Chains A and B, each alone.
Chain A
C-alpha cells in the first residue's frame, strides 16, 4: 500500500465526504481537521484548541498539521497560531442532491407553464391527428375535461368514436355483427371475445397512418388466437364463388342458361362478359350490366307480358251490401256487377296514414275477395264499415289539392304522386255520379312512361317498364322494413311479388333474402360473407394468366349451385409466403356493416 493510502491518527486527516459542508480550503489541499458546522459556518480560527492541565495550557495541534508547536498556547489559553476563517463549500453529495431538486423543480415548472400556456395542449398531444380529425380544436372535444375521476368516456373510450361514427349495427360488437356467442362458440372459432374496442385496431395521434388497420396479423390474432396462416391453416371455403342460387339477389342460374337456354338460341353464345363488366367497374369488382343490355333480349316479355297492362290496382270500390252494413252509404248499382277486389295498396295507404292494422284486419284476412258480409262477425263488420268510411274520407282528401295528406317516406310520396287531385276527382265523378270518363282520360296503352288510368271501379297504375320507380319504391320500403312489418305490409309485399303482378318483379329479384339496404336488394353482391373482401380486377386476364372458368366452374351435379366449390389451394397457389401477400386483410375486412356516414 502506498503512503497515500495510510490511515491513522498521525498520518491522515479525517475525511467527511458524506457531510453537507466541507472545508473551504480542502480544494487547495489545506483543509482543516475539524471542518464546518452543520449550517456551513467555519469553526476553525486557529491551528489548535489548547487544553488546560492543572494550571498550564498545552498545545494539541494534530500530527497531520505538524504536531505541538514550539511556542505553545498564549497565557489566556488561546492558540498562538491563528488561522483566518474559510468559506465552507457544500460537499459533492450535497451538490448532486441540489441538482436533482433543481432539475425536478425546473421540470415541474416548465411542464406547468406549457400546460397552462397552450390552450390546445399541443405539447401534451401524443401526436398529430388524422386528416379526418384535423378540425378538432382541443383535447376536450374528444376526451372531455380531465379529472381525477374517470368520466364515462374514459371508462369506455370506444364510445368516443361512436359519438360521431354511427354504425348501422352494434359498433362495439366484434365485426359490428349482432350475435350472441357462448364460450363454446368462441372456442370453436378460436376467438376470445364478442366485444372489441375501436382502438384495438385504430389508434389515433399517429397522423394519417393511425387509422390504417393495424398490422394485419397482430390485429386479427388478438382475438383469433389460433394460427391462421394462409393457405395452410385457413378453414376450408364455404360456398365461396358458389353461393346457392336461392341466396342471390337475382335468380340467375348460370348452369341452366349455359346448358339449356343458350343452346336453344340461334348463333348465341354464353360468355361472361355479356353480363359482367370487370374492367369498367370503379370498385374493381364484377359490375353487372343493365337489364336492357344483358337480359331484355329474352326476358322483356316477362316484364311487359301478360299482367303488365292490367297494372297495379291503387284504389277500388268493392261491392258492399248496404243492408247488412250500416253507415257505409249507398254505392252505385254497377258496383255489384263489377265485383272489384279490395286494393292492397289502398289498405296499406290507410294504414300508413294512421289506421291501425287491427282496424283493417278484415280486409287482410278475407283474402281481398269482393266483400260478402253475410258470414262476417260483428267485429269484422265494424272493420269493414271503418274501411269504407276511412276510404271515403281519404278519397275526399286526395281530390282536394288543399287537403292532401303528406308523408316523409319516399314510397308513400311516390304513391301519393300518382293519386293526383285531378285523377281522384275524375274517378269520384265517374264512380259515384255516373259521369262518363272525359275524352282526355289516360288510356293504359298511352302510358309508356307509367301512370294511372281508370278501369271500372278501380284506379290502376301501369308501370313504365323494368325498374319502375313506384314499384321499386314500394318493394324497397316493404323489404327494408320487413323486421317491423305488420299484416298489412306483408299482404302488400306478397301481392307485389306475386307472379300475377304487373312486371313480375319477384320472378327474378329474390327480395326474400336478408338485406340491409336498397343497394343490397337489387344489386348482386360478390361475397356471401360480409367479412370477405375480394376484388376480381387483379385476377382478370390479361393481368393474370387466368380465365373466369378457371375458378368458376359450372357444376351440373349440384342442384343448389350452378358453380362448383372453389378449393383453397386455387388461391394458395399464389397467396403464400414468399409469393403474393397472404395476410388476413388481403381478403377480409373487419367491419361487416359500414358506418352510416360512409
Chain B
C-alpha cells in the first residue's frame, strides 16, 4: 500500500512540473490597464484592492468589472499583489470562495502580456496589469505601481 502511494505521488510530481513562467524584474513598475469603454481616467490603490478582492464588482456606469490575471506562479503576480499588500494565493482563495458561492463570476486568466492586452482590449469592463516596459501603445492606463 505504501509503495502504491509513493508510486502515485511520483507520477503526479512529474505531471505537475509544467507551469509557465512569466518573469518580471522585482524593480520593474507595473501599469494598470483597462478597456477603453471605462469612463474613469485614474484609480487609487484602495479602489484597486476593492476590485481585486471583488468587494467592488461594478464600475460607476454599472458595467460589470472583469478582473484579468496571469496564470501560475509568475514574478509579475508576486510584484502586483505585494503592492496590494497580499499574496497570489490569498487572492485566489478569495476568488474561489466568491466564485463557488455564486458571489462572482470567474476571473479571466491569461498566459502572457500579449494575451492580457487582447483580453482587456476586447472585453468591456475588463481590468488587467502589464509590466511598464511592455505597455501597448493604445492602452488606457489608470495607475502605475512601482515595483
Answer yes or no: do A and B interact. no
